[in-house]
Amino acid sequence: EAGEGPLHPSIPAIANAIYDAVGVRIDTLPFTAPKVLAAIEDRLRLERAGELPVHKSDSRGGNSARRSA
């Protein structure tokens, strides 16, 4: 499997799980907690400055606000 690591289907699945959980895309490996936290902070900073549009839908076409059970 040498050289095929980037093709492993778990990598995009984990990236999508991070996005679904916290609303930020991480597109570089490795996925680390400090990297996710920095991406969340960057997104919040841009949203507060009005430089990033707040999207209301997620990848499933629904509302990105947390769904109640």
The pLDDT tens digits for 19-39 are: 999 999 998 989 999 999 999
Cα–chain center distance at 29:
13
61 within some domain: no
37 within some domain: yes
Angstrom CA distances, 61 to 36, 55, 69, stand at 23, 11, 18
The reported pLDDT for the residue numbered 9 is: 86
pLDDT of residue 68 exceeding 90, the answer is: no
More confident residue, 15 or 69: 15
Number of domains in the chain: 1
47 within some domain: yes
Read off the pTM. Answer: 0.62
Could you tell me the residue range of the domain that residue 31 belongs to? 27-56
